[in-house]
């Protein structure tokens, strides 16, 4: 039943990935590409829970990790900005995950990865806009900033990266994202014209330098040499972008339940436990200490930067360290494999989805409200005061709940510099002279449509609110009304509620 189609299977694999990251403290690391996973039907390896997915594919944890890295040497492709002829693009709402970063944790008794966080267009990976981006950031004093953001550096600027610092790779990833969406939205659809007003652009970020800098790099690719005086950058205090609606006791209880499930899953994985013991011995530290250092975070950074895995620094090595004193790709593969198993089990348990609905609602609600205002305003042509482009520069723990709440778990865990876009479209007017009689309530909604794209892939018809829409019907796009009623009511079905207030304050078993 679970694997009733390959698509479902793919969905499930991805969902687990999506779920893996609710706590910034823990993992940060799971990529997947549903299409590739579908092809990679290696026979299943040992599963922690034999009841689940006994004949599910075993994705190759190493190959999947390459996708997570999101190497910026590939051309960016995507279906953003594509629509039937004559449809008009009214607004776009994008959430990005920050780009490649230095680890948040270091592995005890090892050297940190040697990565230079000073930007230089002479170093790879580079980008044609990198040099002008660097000089443009020097003028950031002309922009408007929430006061809490003023002290953050506008660029990575350390010859040895600091913990969590955005790398040059991360900057380039977002220059590319911005440039790609400039082609899709500005060149093709004039979403923002050269004289865009300050109200038309909404930019918000969490208070970390890596999200702030990622947002600025994206923006520079999107609007090269933008006029600082028209830009306001706002801070969101929560990684959930929940603004003034963050209070939600039930959400925290779902998260705690999920964390307990995860803990049980992890400690039941004997291969994983054995691997930690081996790694700890290799480095000469206590197993507990090693586990607490979340070694996979640092190993991912070595992996994505093509650096060899770290060796014990207590060795009195001159040059070549003893192989036996080094961490190995096999260790890394076991941890990654366990993370995937955990994702599968997480999807099956369903607790994360309940958490995700409550975590994602405030952001989705704000997006829905903006879209509705713009859609109504388009009848009376008041475009200049509305935020037709909104950017939220965020974390994996921001984006994963959004994907889960939308029913897009199969889209995969957010890789570095992942992007999620909501587009609002208006279909051609049928007849203009009946406009007066069209004014009745609800009429404005009839020719409004939404598209949802993740890393350039159009997933609109896989969302929970448009899965049942027949795309060969008279309406080739998904009606905005589906999204509005999903956000305002239907999304709470899975927590047996009809509103955010009710869902947040009810008892969780
Ligand atoms: C892109 O870079 C990665 C990592 O440096 C490398 O493994 C891969 O082969 C490169 N791909 C292309 C198409 O150059
Ligand atoms: C980077 O840091 C150096 C040394 O602290 C400083 O001189 C330089 O102005 C900084 N550059 C930027 C763009 O912040
Ligand atoms: C959702 O948006 C509406 C405005 O459309 C607002 O009145 C309401 O308070 C918002 N709810 C939450 C929970 O953010
Ligand atoms: C919702 O209600 C159903 C039926 O009463 C129950 O089985 C389910 O556990 C409830 N779900 C939640 C999240 O409370």
Q: How far apart are CA 389 and CA 94, in angstroms?
A: 8
Mutating to test ligand 1, I would choose from 70, 73, 168 the residue with most ligand atoms within 8 A of its C-beta, which is 73
- Is 80 exceeded by the pLDDT of residue 118? yes
Condensed to tens digits (0 to 9), the pLDDT of residues 171-195 reads 999 999 999 999 999 999 999 999 9
Please tell me what DSSP assigns to residue 7.
H
**Residue 97, SS3?**
strand
User: Mean per-residue pLDDT for 455-468?
Assistant: 95
User: Mean per-residue pLDDT for 360-370?
Assistant: 98
In this predicted structure, what is the pLDDT of residue 380?
A: 66
Work out which ligand 3 atom sits closest to the CA atom of 499: 13
In this predicted structure, what is the pLDDT of residue 286?
A: 96
Q: How far apart are CA 291 and CA 249, in angstroms?
A: 30
In this predicted structure, what is the pLDDT of residue 439?
A: 56
Distance from the CA of 158 to the center of ligand 2, in angstroms?
A: 8
Distance from the CA of 137 to the center of ligand 2, in angstroms?
A: 11
| Global confidence as pTM | 0.86
User: Can you spell out the DSSP letters for 250-269?
Assistant: HHHHHHHHHHHHHHHHHHT-
- 81: number of CA atoms within 13 Å, CB side? 15
H/E element, 479:
strand 478-479
If you average pLDDT over every residue of the chain, what do you get?
Answer: 86
Please tell me what DSSP assigns to residue 26.
S
Distance from the CA of 306 to the center of ligand 1, in angstroms?
A: 10
At residue 233, φ and ψ (nearest 5 deg) are -110, 125
In this predicted structure, what is the pLDDT of residue 384?
A: 72
Mutating to test ligand 3, I would choose from 365, 370, 376 the residue with most ligand atoms within 8 A of its C-beta, which is 365
In this predicted structure, what is the pLDDT of residue 39?
A: 29
Name the closest ligand to CA 65: 1
Range with lowest mean pLDDT among 98-107, 469-478, 499-508: 469-478
Most confident of the following: 47-56, 79-88, 466-475: 79-88
| Nearest by Cα to 196 from 385, 423, 369 | 385
Name the closest ligand to CA 137: 2
Backbone Cα Rg of the chain: 23
Distance from the CA of 428 to the center of ligand 3, in angstroms?
A: 30
Where does ligand 2 bind, in terms of residues with CB under 6 Å?
138, 155, 157
H/E element, 39:
helix 34-39
SS3 content of the chain, % helix, strand, coil (to 5): 45, 10, 45
Question: Which residues share a beta bridge with 426?
Answer: 88, 448
Name the closest ligand to CA 305: 1
**Hey, whose CA ends up nearest to atom 4 of ligand 4?**
496
User: Mean per-residue pLDDT for 300-319?
Assistant: 84
Instruction: Say if residues 197 and 383 touch (Cβ distance below 8 Å).
Output: no
Work out which ligand 4 atom sits closest to the CA atom of 506: 14
Distance from the CA of 17 to the center of ligand 2, in angstroms?
A: 38
Question: Catalytic positions, please?
Answer: 98, 396
Where does ligand 1 bind, in terms of residues with CB under 6 Å?
71, 73-74, 306
CA 146 to chain centre: 23
Distance from the CA of 71 to the center of ligand 1, in angstroms?
A: 7
Would you say how long the chain is, in residues? Answer: 509
User: Can you spell out the DSSP letters for 41-74?
Assistant: -PPP---SSTTS-TT-----HHHHHHHHHT-TTS
Q: Which residues lie below 8 Å from residue 68, measured CB to CB, with a gap of 6+?
A: 29, 30, 31, 300, 304, 413, 415, 416
Q: How far apart are CA 136 and CA 130, in angstroms?
A: 10
Q: At what angle do helices 396-405 and 351-380 cross, to 10 degrees?
A: 80
Work out which ligand 3 atom sits closest to the CA atom of 368: 5
* Domain assignments of the chain as residue spans, ordered by start: 65-248+349-504
Mutating to test ligand 4, I would choose from 496, 497, 506, 508 the residue with most ligand atoms within 8 A of its C-beta, which is 496
User: Mean per-residue pLDDT for 448-476?
Assistant: 90
H/E element, 234:
strand 232-235
Condensed to tens digits (0 to 9), the pLDDT of residues 328-351 reads 999 999 999 999 888 889 888 999
30/473: higher pLDDT: 473
Name the closest ligand to CA 152: 2
Q: At what angle do helices 480-488 and 351-380 cross, to 10 degrees?
A: 130
Cβ of residue 369 lying under 6 Å from some atom of ligand 3: yes
Look up the CATH number of domain 65-248+349-504. Answer: 3.40.50.1240
The fraction of the chain above a pLDDT of 70, given in percent, is 83
Cβ of residue 243 lying under 6 Å from some atom of ligand 3: no
**Residue 451, SS3?**
strand
């Amino acid at each position: 039943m679970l694997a009733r189609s390959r698509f479902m299977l793919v969905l499930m694999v991805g969902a687990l990935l999506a779920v893996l990251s609710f706590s910034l403290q823990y993992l940060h690391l799971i990529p997947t590409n549903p299409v590739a996973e579908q092809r990679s039907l290696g026979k299943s390896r040992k599963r922690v829970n034999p009841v689940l997915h006994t004949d599910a594919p075993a994705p190759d944890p190493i190959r999947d990790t390459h996708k997570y890295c999101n190497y910026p040497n590939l051309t960016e492709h995507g279906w953003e900005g594509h629509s039937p002829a004559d449809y008009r693009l009214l607004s776009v709402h994008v959430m990005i995950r920050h780009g490649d970063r230095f680890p948040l944790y270091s592995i005890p008794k090892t050297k940190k990865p040697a990565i230079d966080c000073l930007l230089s267009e002479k170093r790879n990976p580079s980008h044609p806009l990198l040099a002008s981006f660097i000089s443009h950031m020097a003028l950031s004093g002309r922009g408007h900033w929430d006061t809490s953001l003023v002290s953050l550096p506008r660029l990575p600027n350390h010859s040895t990266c600091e913990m969590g610092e955005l790398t040059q790779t991360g900057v380039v990833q977002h220059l590319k994202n911005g440039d790609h969406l400039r082609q899709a939205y500005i060149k093709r659809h004039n979403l923002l014209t050269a004289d865009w007003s300050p109200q038309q652009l909404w930019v918000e970020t969490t208070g970390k330098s890596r999200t702030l800098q990622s947002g600025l790099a994206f923006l520079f690719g999107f609007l090269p040499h933008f006029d600082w005086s028209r830009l306001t950058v706002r801070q969101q205090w929560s990684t959930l972008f929940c603004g003034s609606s963050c209070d939600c006791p039930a959400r925290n209880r779902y998260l705690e339940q999920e964390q307990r499930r995860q803990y049980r899953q992890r400690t039941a994985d004997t291969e994983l436990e054995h691997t930690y013991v081996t790694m700890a011995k290799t480095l000469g530290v206590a197993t507990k200490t090693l586990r607490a250092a979340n070694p996979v975070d640092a190993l991912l950074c070595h992996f994505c930067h093509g650096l060899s895995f770290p060796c014990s620094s207590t060795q009195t090595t001159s040059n070549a360290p003893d192989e036996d004193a080094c961490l190995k790709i096999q260790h890394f593969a076991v941890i990654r494999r366990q993370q995937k198993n955990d994702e599968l089990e997480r999807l099956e348990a369903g607790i994360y989805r309940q958490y995700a609905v409550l975590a994602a609602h405030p952001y989705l609600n704000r997006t829905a409200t903006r879209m509705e205002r713009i859609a109504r305003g388009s009848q009376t042509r008041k475009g200049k005061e509305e935020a037709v482009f909104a950017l939220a520069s965020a974390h994996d723990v921001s984006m994963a709940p959004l994907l889960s709440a939308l029913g897009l778990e199969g889209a995969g865990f957010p890789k570095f510099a992942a992007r999620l876009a909501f587009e609002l479209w208006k279909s051609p007017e049928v007849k203009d002279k009946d406009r007066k009689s069209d004014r009745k309530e609800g009429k404005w909604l009839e020719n409004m449509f939404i598209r949802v794209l993740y890393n350039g892939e159009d997933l609109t018809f896989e969302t929970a609110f448009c899965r049942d829409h027949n795309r060969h019907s008279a309406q080739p796009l998904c009606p905005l009304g589906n999204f509005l009623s999903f956000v305002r009511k239907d999304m709470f079905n899975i927590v047996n509620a009809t509103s955010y207030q009710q869902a947040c304050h009810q008892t969780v078993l």
